[in-house]
Amino acid sequence: MTKHNGSGNAGLSHPVPVAHVPPKGMTVKIEANEKERALLAANHELLSVDSFTADFLITRWKKDGIKLRGHIEAQIVQACVATLEPINATISEEVDTVFVPENSRLARIRLDESGEMLIDAEGPDMPETFEGDRIDIGAVAEEFFELAIDPYPRKAEAEYVEIIEDDEDEAASDIKPDSPFAGLAKLRDKN
């Protein structure tokens, strides 16, 4: 579980006091400046982050909790995994998460009678925790931003080229090169 009270080497840091959130909630907008966008690009191995905005509504949740809802928009440039050419991409990510103070009973991991952790795959996520009276919503925005980045960006016209090494061994050449087990068969035959 990540604690969101502002610290570390994040590209974005925007601590917000949450001790006295109004009954109707409060809105917060983050627009990353040039330095923050450069840090985001460096932290997430991007060529550049051309724009980054996040709009959030912070409301009370249960007794001591905080609900954070909003949307992140960003324009980024990544390197194609096949050609290393720049690729422009748009990040558009919804955020809907709950935070509770770190000492809250709602933050405790539930265990069954044998001591195994109980996880309901269909149920809601466990709340995140925070210390004190602040939540770093910049760090939260950066986490959701990271999850939305394509880990293997590829230009549409980039083609996959399979490289097949010539093998002097006749037995290995009888195996079809498109078989997923061809490489293993070559190794077996050499031994």
Q: Which of 28-32, 105-109, 124-128 has the lowest mean pLDDT?
A: 105-109
Picking from 130, 138, 114, the residue whose alpha carbon sits closest to that of residue 54 is: 138
Q: Is residue 46 predicted with pLDDT exceeding 70? A: yes
Distance CA 56, CA 67 (A): 10
Q: Is the pTM of this model over 0.75?
A: no
Contact at 8 Å (CB) between 144 and 95? yes
Q: Which of 30-34, 95-99, 106-110, 115-119 has the highest mean pLDDT?
A: 30-34
Distance CA 27, CA 64 (A): 19
| Residue of 132 and 150 predicted with greater confidence | 150
